[in-house]
Chains A and B, each alone.
Chain A
């Protein structure tokens, strides 16, 4: 784990050094580009609790991947953007006594619209809603009759964010144009799978999962995803470094669950100019 952390840090420092060395070729990060696609890979710390499997908190690492695309639409005088995000994560955590391990996997997809508002030339605020689906599992390598828990949910989230462009002054009068982004997504209403407190797989297999689909809302599944990133250009590539804080949790049917991760993200952004086909004119 330490080796992987050091490796990521080294890559980050190397890239940063390259940027400073290549100041002559610095370019400004496009402000609210018509379309952008981001690929981020992350590594971080994870903490998991699922009282269906164990009452203990498990801690370990998470590797994750986030692919996000965002484009401005023609709606509301080009103030509305469409965003879609795919998120994948794999976690490996262990109990405090290091005698049992969780292996977890999760994929999530959400998509939705944001309304943009720019109170200042270099500040862009946005707010909107996302519809998402989440599919995951958590496997305990020691439990016998309750070795794993499944996670399935569909929800509608409120989403808000901000982008701020600024220039970072460096030494000898050099300057580095940068753009900071922040986005928070808060699930508000949805459905999720949750077995009852002591419900066995055998009973679920006999009676189906229909009665185990319950309504999810901030009262029983208060979750939040926050992504804070910083963009800067290297030649014609926009690099993005960031911090992803993902809190998934629920407290339903006397079962508690949380999956909290804090990850350093690293990747790049590709900006596109959308062109109209001739035939569309």
Chain B
């Protein structure tokens, strides 16, 4: 009988010991704020860094924003309070998605000049430019290749890259214009980078959270770019960037900065070095946040962007004359290196 009793106890224990979430929050304004605060507290990967850089204490923000709540507040009022709390992080990868609006902090690009005139860019491309999936390219009159890549979400295959590089092979150099490219697939960034090196290059590190503590991280894993076995570019490259180069575009700039023939020109990039994850609140709203930080080859944060090798900006007087001063500066740099 003792055996039977023991078996019954084990089974009852099993039935009642189901792994429950540690996340017992009500769908009330306070419950939703507490849930959001906890998600960021446990899963956001830049808390320690942001606290140092931006001067806030995440532990204090729960009380600060709880004071703005009341049980009768509307959904849009709750949304605004939650967005205010998230905006303290100043992270473009942190969003609150609702049917009302998308919460965001885009100060990384909105607070700075864009340094891009798309109409001017069209003039440089002309009308007979080639399109290789997401790549648009042409040869400028001074025999310099001009390549525009607007989004890393646009797939670029090995065949597209090889065909482009063969077409441009007699050019004196290349201007690769990724201004206002706000990111996409990291695999595209890696695939393109491989065409600009003849050796395996250490470009950075990546790690992820291993627990709920602010500093619970895995050992940084080195990231290398291996040279492509196909056609590779062997001439000077100027990579044009602006503040709107974010996320995968930021990672691409990090990679290209380590390539010997590449000069990064323009403004500081927008940053966004954390791979994002999604979660949700009791009210049903989805929240996105940075979960895995990546670093440059010297283990420095690139969350707030990467400094260019050569500073350049779009000159309005030149623009009025139909000239993109950044493209012109890049042309001069390539011509002078011949």
Contact = CB atoms under 8 A, between A and B. Distances in A.
Contacts of B285: 99
Given A97-B27, A145-B278, A202-B275, A197 B18 contact: no
Interface stretch (B155-163, B206-214, B252-260): B206-214
A18 interface: no
Given A95-B280, A97-B284, A224-B14, A207 B21 contact: no
B288 interface: yes
Most chain B Cβ neighbours within 10 Å, of A97, A184, A198, A250: A198
Contact of B282 (A97, A144, A254, A256): A97
A100 B43 CA distance: 20
B211 A99 contact: no
Contact of B291 (A95, A200, A247, A250): A200
A258 B208 contact: no
A137 B227 CA distance: 35
B101 to A, nearest CB: 15
A273 interface: no
B210 A222 contact: no
Nearest to A97: B284
Nearest to A160: B7
A87 interface: no
A5 interface: no
A197 B282 CA distance: 21
A56 B280 contact: yes
Nearest to B95: A144
Given A196-B210, A200-B277, A247-B14, A55 B19 contact: no
B16 to A, nearest CB: 11
A245 B15 CA distance: 9
Contacts of B223: 206
Interface in B1-25: 7, 11, 14-15, 17-23
Report, as a range, how many residues of chain A touch the other chain.
Answer: 35 or more
B292 interface: yes
A203 B206 contact: yes
Contact of B292 (A95, A99, A200): A200
B73 interface: no
Interface in A197-214: 197-200, 202-203, 206-207
A51 interface: yes
Contacts of B284: 95-100
Interface string A7-49: 0000000000000000000000000000000000000000001
Contact of B21 (A55, A184, A197, A247): A55
A89 to B, nearest CB: 17
B221 A144 contact: no
A202 B186 contact: yes
Closest 4 CB pairs of A and B: A97-B284, A198-B209, A99-B284, A55-B23
28 contacts: A49-B19, A51-B21, A54-B279, A55-B39, A55-B279, A95-B280, A95-B284, A96-B282, A98-B284, A100-B286, A142-B278, A142-B280, A142-B286, A143-B277, A144-B278, A186-B14, A196-B209, A196-B210, A197-B43, A197-B210, A198-B43, A199-B218, A200-B292, A203-B292, A207-B221, A224-B14, A253-B210, A254-B212
